[in-house]
Structure 1
Amino acid sequence: MSSPKTIRWGILATGGIAQTFTKDLLVDPNTRGVNNVKHTVVAAASSTSKTRAEQFLTDTGSPSDAKAYGSYDEFVKDPNIDIVYIATPHSHHYQNAMLCLENGKNVLCEKAFTVNAAQARKLADKAKEKDLFLMEAVWTRYFPLSIYVRDLITSGRIGHIARVLADNSMAADPEANWSDGKHRMVNPDLAGGALLDLGIYSLTWVFQTLYHTQPVNTRKPPKVLAALKSYDATGSADESTTIVLTFPRSAEAGGDAHAIATTSLRVATAPGGKEDVPGIRIQGPKGEIQVYPPAFRPTRTRLVLKDGTVEDKQWPFPGPGKGSGWYNGFGGSLQPEGEGHGMYWEADEAALALIEGRKEGKFESLAESILIMEVMDQVRKQGGLVYPEKIESTEYPVQL
């Protein structure tokens, strides 16, 4: 057996999600049954200071010879970087990704991919022009749990999908927790609001079950009807959004299918964090698949069939294991000792794509990422949600 190929990562931005990703990235892939790739970090960049990048590399346990940069312009010129993980707010994704692509770097860019579909199309065009890999980092799509759900659907166990209900909401008490209005969740200058940050996961579940499972040559964009409630404290950010989607299908494929995707900063999918009600329900004439919250990192599924069959499954997140003294998590909370957060699976996919010469992800093409951005464009248009011109712009470069 050939030895695993090592992929050299550069980390652009040093915030919380970058730390979570990088710590997961450096876990031995053998702990999750992956033996054809390895990951290392060769560089990290902070837009504020080299010192912050140095501290980030220390905090994440990155190799001692990894380089720290105090500017993104210097960072993208590092010849040792095979691929860049972009971890800035989505308001900055377009400018940051374009910088990387223009400098010949493959890119894994956090979700939401961009602020609007026009930006996403421009990035895809630039990646094609430069013959580079580009993928939206929708980590949930690469979970074994998600693969299992998609396989259940295509196996026909619940029949043709008729309806999907998907929610990703949290009772965040935004006025109390983000009282100055500058937090990325509510700040219009950072494309804040429920839709792009939380609602992307509701749409992810809708698309990966109702769209991605259809044959490529028969998939059609959905019709979209949306209702949006503005977050009054900062104006141009949504507090709650509800989306009704109709996916056209042939009569042989079950006819049109419906989905409702919801998201909110005001109420929770499962109050009290009990995770005792399904946040996603995928329904067909023979039964339904239930996925329990949180939608972005679910650990439990239930298959309920018309004949009375019930199949419960728990989905572990492997890592160094108990006794390792290793912890990872996000947003101030940690997973149990030795348990990964789950961001390594998307990194494995990106690494494998580089080895195989593919230019996009296996479980979400660039075309599908763009289509989801088009849906969110329609939602924002129907709800009257507009962000500042500088972050909606497709011009490059623009100083943000």
Structure 2
Amino acid sequence: MPIERIYIGYTNPPQYIPAFTGYHYSAPQPVMTKPFILRWGIISTGRIANCFVTDLLVDPETRDVTDVAHNVTAVGSRSVQSAEKFIAEYAKGDKSIKAYGSYAGVFADPNVDAVYIATPHTLHYENALDAIKAKKHVLCEKPVTSNAAELRSLLAAAKEHGVFFMEALWTRFQPLTLEVKKISESGVLGAPLALQADLSDDFQLNEIPKTHRALDPALGGGALLDLGPYPLIWAILALYEHPYNQGAAPSNVSGTMLKTPLTGVDCNTSFTVTFAKRELAAQAILSCNMNIASYHTGAVIRYEKGMITIAAPIYCPKSFTVQYLEGNKVTKEETRQFEYVGTGWHFQADEVARCVRDGKSESSLWGHDKSLVEMDVFDEVRRQGNYKFPPGVEKVV
């Protein structure tokens, strides 16, 4: 019997996204004559910030979003000139955007509702705390903090000051990810049993300065915190979030590291995350490397009756393949492809806008519990790998 192969392409977002309106959000979108507009302040002007802002300014209607929209109203950098240059290059030179030579100026700006924090890992805690104390809603880049203790402190502060707080794990909000979750939890493939995921990149470590974020331990350098969130997010999505798991934390985490002699940060890290506390018995084998390139298959989720293969790059994949099995025999194969205007950063911004509009303190898609699972896993892997940050880096321990 020949294998049935089905190729499904989504090339026009307005035809695709509406199918997930009810699935993506816990409550139906309200009927609104005008979109809710969230006013953003941008903290830092590096590469990640320019990716986010470029997508933020894409017309939401290109992805069939009409209930929320975004304005950039302020940019903070180390100098006014740097902020002005960023606005000119990545915010269409919009003269209405206020350029600040400090982050404090953004936090104090009454025309800013929410801030996007794109500073290095080890600055996230203090930047986010300053924003929270200024009663700004916060979207903070991954990894959200240097350790789990810092995150717990920020969550307590966000609750005290009544603001929304979320880690910017943009992969979780992309259309492809939502579809993978839907299939994973539909039961058509049975229970998940095993998962493998890797993200690697050749940083040319011998060619970059030791002060580079990838190499500097004072900036949280190394493969685990920089690349590790992306393999782990697929384990959280497919295993931790699965209904069979009933919200249980991993039962075991085991990790190992190889460190570069250049600065002592981890260059190659692999870790296993096991779930075996409730109805789910599954294991994720995850890896991240800073001295080699990734390979095409970024993640594979294996189930009782099939598997889902996710193409690289796993932080923003554009296709996945589902294989249906009878024993070891593939009986059907489906490949699904996704395209949209922009590079995928805007979906998380839409989620923040809706949560702020609805008065929520956290997202139902990437809630505080999931960031805590992530940081608890990373803390344990670092402990087992004997990777300690320099004194003073961790503001809460």
Relative to the length of structure 1, the TM-score reads 0.88
User: Partner amino acid for 1:31?
Assistant: T
Deviations 1:224-245 (A, max 9, x none): 011111111111x110101011
Question: 2:256 aligns to what?
Answer: 227
- Provide the rounded CA distance (Å) in 1 between the counterparts of 2:133 and 2:162: 11
2:265 counterpart of 1:242: no
Show CA shifts across 1:70-123 (max 9, x none): 011222110110100001011110010001001111100000000100000000
**In the alignment, which of 159, 175, 186 is matched to residue 144 of structure 1?**
175
1:26 matched to which residue of 2? 57
Offset, 1:148: 0.6
Pairing 1:275-290 to 2, within 5 Å after superposition: 275=296, 278-290=297-309
Q: Deviations over 1:227-278 (max 9, x none)?
A: 111111111x11010101110243xx3x4211101000122221xxxx3xx2
Residues 62 and 31 of structure 1, relative CA distance in 2, 3 Å threshold: farther
Alignment partners' CA distance in 2, 1:229 and 1:245:
18
Matched, 1:257 2:285: no
RCO comparison, higher one (Cα < 8 Å, 6+) = 2
Distance 1:215 1:30 in 2: 36
Gaps in structure 2 of 5+ consecutive residues: 1-31
User: How far apart are 1:218 and its partner, in Å?
Assistant: 4.5
Contact 2:240–2:247 at 8 Å: present in 1 too?
no
Q: What one-letter code is carried by the residue in structure 2 that aligns with 1:204?
A: I
Tell me, yes or no, if the aligned pair for 1:41 and 1:63 is still in contact at 8 Å: no
Match of 1:202 among 213, 218, 231: 231
Matches within 5 A, 1:77-88: 77-88=108-119
Q: In the TM superposition, what is the alpha-carbon distance from 1:33 to its structure 2 partner? A: 0.7
Question: Which residue of 2 is the match for residue 171 of structure 1?
Answer: 202
In the TM superposition, residue 208 of structure 1 has moved relative to its aligned partner by 1.1
% identical equivalent positions: 38
Match of 2:323 among 304, 320, 328: 304
Counterpart mapping for 1:75-224 below 5 A: 75-176=106-207, 178=208, 180-214=209-243, 217-224=246-253
How far off its partner does 1:393 sit? 1.7
Following the alignment from structure 1 to structure 2, what is the Cα–Cα distance between the partners of residues 215 and 73? 45
In structure 2, give the amino acid aligned to 1:51.
Q
Is the contact made by 2:239 and 2:245 (CA closer than 8 Å) also made in structure 1? Answer: no
1:54 aligned residue (84, 88, 96) = 84
Runs of 4+ displaced beyond 6 Å: none
Check conservation: 1:168, 1:269, Cα contact below 8 A: yes
Superposition deviation, residue 217 in structure 1:
4.3
**C-alpha distance in 1 between matches for 2:140 and 2:148:** 15
Ranges in structure 1 where 5+ consecutive residues have no aligned partner: 320-339, 396-400
Distance 1:207 1:218 in 2: 10
Matching residue of 2:385: 383
Shift of 1:64: 1.6
- C-alpha spacing 1:62/1:7, structure 2 compared with 1 (3 Å): farther
Say which SS state the counterpart of residue 357 (structure 2) adopts.
Answer: helix
Equivalent in 347, 370, 373 of residue 345 of structure 1? 347
Residues 164, 260 of structure 1: 8 Å contact kept: yes
Q: 1:218 and 1:34 mapped to 2: Cα distance?
A: 30
CA contact (8 A) 2:268 2:289 kept: yes
Structure 1 residues 192 and 165, CA, compared in 2 at 3 Å: closer, same or farther? same
Secondary structure, aligned partner of 2:192: coil
- Per-residue deviation, residues 147-186 of structure 1 (Å, max 9, x unmatched): 111111110121100001011112333112x1x2111111
CA distance in 1, matches of 2:251, 2:293: 26
The aligned amino acid for 2:271 is: I
Per the alignment, in what secondary structure is the counterpart of residue 389 of structure 1?
Answer: coil
RMSD of Structure 2 on Structure 1 (CA):
1.4
Work out whether residues 42 and 63 of structure 1, in 8 Å CA contact, stay in contact via their aligned partners in 2.
no
The answer to whether the Cα contact below 8 Å between 1:24 and 1:344 also exists between their aligned partners in 2 is yes
Structure 2 letter corresponding to 1:227: T
Corresponding position: 1:44 with 2:75: yes
**Structure 1 296/359 Cα, relative in aligned 2: closer, same or farther at 3 Å?**
same
CA distance in 1, matches of 2:110, 2:153: 24
Q: Which amino acid aligns with 1:239?
A: C
Match of 1:362 in 2: 364
Cα distance change, pair 174–70 in 1 and its aligned pair in 2 (3 A): same
Residue type at the aligned position of 2:382: R
